[in-house]
Amino acid sequence: MNSPSASSSSSEDRPQLAGRPEELPPVEPPSAGFIIQLFLIPALIVAAVIGVWALFGKLADNDTNWQQLVSELGSTNEHRRWRAALGLAQVLRNQQIAPDANGVVLAEQPEVAEALASLLRESLSGSDVTDEQIKHQEFLARTMGSLKADDIVLPALTEAMKPERNVEVRKSSLMSLAMIAGRHFESAAGIDAVASADSSSTVQALPEPLAEPTIADDEILNALEEAAQDEDPSIRHLAAFVLGLVSGGEAMDSLKVLLLDNDSLAQANAAVGLCRNGLTDGVPTLIRLIQQGAESVDRADFQKLPETEQQQILQRRQFEEPIILRNAIRAVESVWTKTTPEQQADLKAQLQKLSSDYFAADIRVLAQTVLGRLPKS
């Protein structure tokens, strides 16, 4: 969308506050850790993996010897190890798009899964963990999600998800588990579990939760339940996302508990996961989150806050809140016919407000699009 002018674009990107937004204190760039925590959204989780592959697209081709690449992944030479890691990721990607002449997809070969899982287990077993080893573990854990050999991959991910592991390794493991559970969810339900990158698309919902979970490994399910109660909110909200794709009665019970979490991202993922499984238990939470997003901040109250709190509020409204709103709006639409008339009236009023007043253009467009798709009263 073309902006009419640089000044109008700048003012549009600021959060809506009562009074003149140009007089607010400058917004400090978000920290890297804050941005990483936002990788809970389905489209972003998928895009993160694809992005790594695409970035290094010229480093390898389908004729690359994968056994040699796997062997070099275990090298003590940092440069050889990363060259092999990126090359193997590209081979897996290329062969998913266009299998070789024999129709073999490496991601489906047990030998590939065993080689990579062994490397991950070996790296995790080391006592002296360096920053470089943690990056290696992150990469291997993230690669597990593309492999279609659950009996080999899931035990390795269970090890990588343990509370004593580095938090970034745990998050990478949860992202991989989301990809695996998502594939099974799609197969069992016959729907697209992870909505397309088009943010206007609706979260596709089941009529009811699946009778059996999409992941049958008890150990990793126990690790997932433990992650849902972790002290780190970034682990909890990723676990909430995965639970929505695992489905089944126990996962739904865990999501209902996560609705009470003190982290808004965990609440949002839990509510969206319930909607994805055809349940409306999370609708009140989504309505509250949408209402909070539609409200403007009182300027007088805002100026009374310490500068650090002001920055936190501005940062949250610019980065975290739009993500929550985007998914909340799409989720409530997916279960619209199951909501009460009172909930529908409330939601329509909030969507109307967002469509005209919200600072982020994509949220305004999404709210207007969804309003146009909803049944007329």
Higher pLDDT, 7 or 339: 339
CA angle 174, 179, 182 (to 5 degrees): 115
pLDDT score, position 349:
96
Q: What is the pLDDT of residues 316-348, one digit of tens each?
A: 888 899 999 999 999 999 999 999 999 999 999
pLDDT at 97 over 80: no
What is the average per-residue pLDDT within 55-74?
Answer: 58
Q: Residue 45 corresponds to which tokens in the numbers above?
A: 């989780």
More confident residue, 223 or 128: 223
pTM greater than 0.75: yes
Distances (CA, A) of 223 to 99, 173, 226: 34, 11, 5
Rounded to 5 degrees, φ, ψ at 17 are -130, 150
Q: Which amino acid is at 212?
A: E
CA distance 113 to 155: 11
Higher pLDDT, 57 or 272: 272
pLDDT of amino acid 77? 79
What integer pLDDT is reported at residue 20 of this predicted model?
44
143 token code pair: 């690669």
pLDDT at residue 4 is higher than 50: no
Residue 11 pLDDT greater than 70, yes or no: no
pLDDT of residue 189 exceeding 70: yes
pLDDT cut 90: percent of the chain above it = 50
| DSSP code, position 145 | G
Query: Mean of the pLDDT values across residues 240-269?
Result: 97
Q: What are the residues whose beta carbons fall under 8 Å from the beta carbon of 19, sequence distance 6 or more?
A: 299
Average pLDDT over residues 304-320: 84
Proportion of the chain in helix, strand, coil states, percent, rounded to 5: 65, 0, 30
Mean predicted confidence (pLDDT) in 96-122:
78
pLDDT per position as a tens digit, 152-166: 999 999 999 999 999
Residue 99 confidence (pLDDT) above 90: no
pLDDT at 53 over 50: no
302-311: burial string, b at 16+ Cβ within 10 Å, e else = beeeeeeebb
Q: Output the pLDDT for position 32.
A: 52
Which of 163, 164, 156 is closest to 140 using CA atoms?
Answer: 156
Q: Which residue has the higher pLDDT, 139 or 53?
A: 139
Among 85-89, 200-204, 286-290, the minimum mean pLDDT is found in 200-204
Lowest pLDDT segment from 87-96, 105-114, 172-181, 236-245? 87-96
Percentage above 70 pLDDT, the chain: 76
- Summarize pLDDT for 12-38 with one digit per residue, the tens: 444 444 444 445 555 555 555 555 555
Q: Is residue 186 a contact partner of residue 192, using CB atoms and an 8 Å limit?
A: yes
Q: Which two tokens stand for residue 228?
A: 């849902």
Does residue 268 have a pLDDT over 80? yes
How is 327-339 classified by DSSP, letter by letter? Answer: HHHHHHHHTGGGS
